[in-house]
Amino acid sequence: KYILLSITAIILSVLSYKCLLLITHTVCSAIPQAKTNSNYKYTSLWLFIFATILITIFSYCSPLYPFQTWVDPNCFFTVGKSILDGIVPYRDLYEQKGPLLYFMHTFASLISYRTFIGVYLLEIFAAWAFLSISYKLINLFNKNKHSLFITIICGIVIYSSPCFVSGDSAEEFCLPLIAYA
C-alpha cells in the first residue's frame, strides 16, 4: 500500500514539476519583448539571484530562521506530508485551502520531509517567475536601463510587505499568475 502510494506521489511530483516548467516557459515566452532582448538571459539570472536573496531574507522557510512561526505554512506542510503517508485530504484531514497548494507542499516534502527547504525552493521559483514577468511588463512601458532597478524596488516592496511577512502563503504562489494576467 505505501509503496504504491509513494510511487504515485513521485510520479505526480515529476508531472507537476514538468507542468511548472512548461508554464514558466510559456509565461516567459508569451511577451514579445523578451524575444527581442538578447540580454534577457543575464537579466533572468540576476532576477533569480535577487529572488533567492529576497526569499532568504523575508521568508521564515529559509535556512536563516530556525522554525516557521506562522500557523498556515505548518498546516499546509502537514497536509502535504500526510498525503505521502496515505491520508486523504478533505476526508481524513481537513484544512480550508485548495488541493494544488497541498500537492505543492507534498512535492516540497519529497525534497525535505522534516524541514521547509522544499517550500523555500518553491518560493524562490515563484518569486523568480513573478520578478521575470514584472520585468517584462515594466520593460514594455519603460524601455530604458532603469527597468531592472524598478523591478528590484517592486520586489523589495512586495516581499517585505505585511502580506508576505512570514512566507509560504497562498497569495505568494498566486503572485506570478496575477502578474501575468
* pLDDT confidence of residue 140: 84
Alpha helices in the chain (DSSP H): 2-30, 32-36, 40-58, 71-84, 99-111, 117-141, 147-159, 170-180
pLDDT of 165 strictly over 80: no
Q: What is the pTM of this model?
A: 0.74
pLDDT category of residue 124 using cuts at 50, 70 and 90? very high
Report the alpha-carbon distance of residue 41 to residue 47 in Å, rounded. 10
Pick 113 or 21 by higher pLDDT: 113
pLDDT of 180 strictly over 50: yes
Asked if 118 and 110 count as a contact pair (C-beta separation under 8 A), the reply is yes
